[in-house]
Structure 1
């Protein structure tokens, strides 16, 4: 994301997660604010990813989507492998890191994979 306020919010969430402070209400609120900035930047993939992420967090009280696989596999296995039983902090941290530098093509591709996983969940 290019917006400096969005960057600061992403860094705030990352710092809190690193300190084992997974405050769901605060994270959801911050993701909603970041989404407002992404609307201004007119990036539909990021805007959708943020909405799906905070809706997922609100519904499940945890981030249950795993890190997307590098190699394509059939969709049934992909859905099974990308769902966690517990709060997947590592995946959430990776999701946030993708938002930092959207100029990398792979970051947008991974965000699209997260979107598919959120929808399939």
Structure 2
């Protein structure tokens, strides 16, 4: 993301996670605000990822989506969605880190994988 306010909100969530503070209501509020900034940047992948993420958090009170596989993806390969049985904070931290540098093609690809996983969940 390019918007500095959005980046500050993402950084705030990341700092709270480091301090083992996982308050869903606060995270959802911040992600909704970040989504508003992403709408301005007109990046539909990010906007969708943020919406699906905060809806997932609201509905489950945890983050149950695992980190996408590093294996190369092609059109013929079927991806497997990794679902965690416990709150996967490592995956949530990774999800947030993807949002901070959208110039990397792999970050957008991983966000697409998260989108697919949210929908499959």
Q: Normalising by structure 1, what TM-score?
A: 0.94
Match of 2:78 in 1: 74
2:112 equivalent to 1:112: yes
Mapped partners of 2:5, 2:11: distance in 1: 10
Match of 1:13 in 2: 13
Alpha-carbon displacement from aligned partner over 1:20-63 (angstroms, at most 9, x marks no partner): 00011000000000000000000000000000000000000000
Structure 2 portions without partners, runs of 5+: none
Mapped partners of 2:99, 2:113: distance in 1: 14
Q: What is the count of residue pairs matched by the alignment?
A: 117
- Say what the alpha-carbon RMSD is for the aligned residues: 0.9
2:98 equivalent to 1:94: no
Spell out the pairing of 1:36-75 with structure 2 (5 A cutoff): 36-71=36-71, 72=73, 74-75=78-79
User: 3-state DSSP class of the match of 1:67?
Assistant: coil
Alpha-carbon displacement from aligned partner over 1:54-99 (angstroms, at most 9, x marks no partner): 0000000000000000114634xx12xx100000000000000000
Match of 2:28 in 1: 28
Mapped partners of 1:97, 1:103: distance in 2: 12
Structure 1 portions without partners, runs of 5+: none
Higher helix share: 1
